[in-house]
């Protein structure tokens, strides 16, 4: 399952604990147009049955057809020689001409589109929620390269925990059991 997300310079402000009469303040500059776009996929490895996370980062950029096609090339390279089914939403970039052309060149890749307004069906949304709204909540990051580094660090941490990734599948209502060797 794949999706895209934007990590913004303005923080996702969440409730937190503080001493009585000491209201926490999250300092940040208003740079709402600066962001790090990420294309990602929670993948079920065909040979091992393990769960993996793939991410491509695009600092200060939006996800367009070219980025979507490059991500699909990466997915194809990560899983050579096996049929691939990729599920993602209806973003215009996912249906771009360059993506359609890629599909004709790689018949082992089949794309499936989620219905509109159905993020609860996408396991990748759980990964984004963990990284963006929990681990990076209340950040006061001031530079785009620092935001990129922090987003990558948190996603790498999530990627190292196969049980956490499996919980994202379960959160989307998908049955998944991972081998006990992980």
Residue 170 lies in a domain: no
Residue-wise burial string across 64-76, b where 16 or more C-beta atoms lie within 10 A, e elsewhere: ebebbbebbeebb
- Reading the chain (182 residues) residue by residue, the pLDDT tens digits are 899 998 887 766 666 666 787 776 666 666 567 889 999 999 887 777 788 999 999 999 999 999 999 999 999 999 998 999 999 988 999 999 999 999 999 999 999 999 988 888 999 999 998 998 888 876 778 888 999 999 999 999 999 998 899 888 888 887 765 555 44
Residue 178 lies in a domain: no
Alpha-carbon gap, residue 36 to 20, rounded angstroms: 36
Instruction: Please check whether residue 99 is in contact with residue 63, taking contact to mean a CB–CB distance below 8 angstroms.
Output: no
Please indicate, yes or no, if residue 88 is contained in any of the structural domains.
yes
**Residue 131 forms part of a structural domain:** yes
On whether residue 150 sits in a domain, the answer given is yes
In a domain? residue 62: yes
- Whether 12 and 137 have beta carbons less than 8 Å apart is answered as yes
Q: What b/e string do you get for 9-27 counting C-beta neighbours within 10 Å, with b at 16 or more?
A: bbbeeeeeeeeeeeeeeee
Q: Which domain holds residue 141?
A: 2-8+30-163
* Within-domain flag for 24: no
- Taking alpha carbons only, the member of 162, 170, 177, 158 closest to residue 40 is 158
Q: The whole model's pTM is what?
A: 0.83
Instruction: Decide: 109 and 74 in contact? Cβ < 8 Å.
Output: no
Q: Give SS3 for 112.
A: strand
In tens, the pLDDT along 103-151 reads: 999 999 999 999 988 888 999 999 998 998 888 876 778 888 999 999 9
Phi, psi (rounded to 5 degrees) for 113: -110, 135
For the record, the structure tokens of 153 come out as: 């660090």
Token pair 């604990």 is at which residue? 17
The HSE-up count of residue 100 (CA atoms within 13 Å, CB side) is 4
For the domain that residue 59 is a member of, what is the CATH number? 3.30.420.10
Number of domains into which the chain is organized = 1
Q: How far is CA 148 from CA 35, 36, 90, 108, 155, in A?
A: 8, 6, 25, 32, 11
Residue 50 falls inside a structural domain: yes
């Amino acid at each position: 399952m794949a999706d895209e997300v934007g990590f913004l310079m303005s923080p996702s402000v969440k409730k937190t604990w503080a001493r009585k009469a000491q209201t926490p303040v999250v300092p940040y500059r208003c740079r709402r147009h600066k962001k790090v776009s990420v294309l990602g996929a929670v993948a079920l490895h065909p040979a091992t049955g393990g769960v993996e996370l793939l991410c491509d980062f695009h600092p200060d950029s939006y996800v367009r057809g070219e980025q979507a096609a490059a991500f699909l090339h990466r997915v194809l390279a990560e899983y050579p020689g096996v049929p691939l089914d990729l599920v993602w939403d209806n973003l215009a970039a996912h249906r771009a001409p360059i993506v359609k052309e890629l599909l004709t060149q790689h018949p082992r890749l089949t794309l499936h589109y989620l219905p509109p307004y159905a993020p609860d069906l996408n396991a990748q949304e759980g990964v984004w929620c963990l990284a963006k709204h929990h681990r990076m909540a209340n950040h006061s990051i001031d530079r785009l390269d620092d935001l990129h580094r922090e987003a990558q660090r948190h996603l790498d941490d999530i990627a190292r925990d196969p049980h956490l990734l499996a919980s994202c599948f379960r959160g989307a209502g998908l049955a998944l059991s991972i081998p006990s060797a992980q």
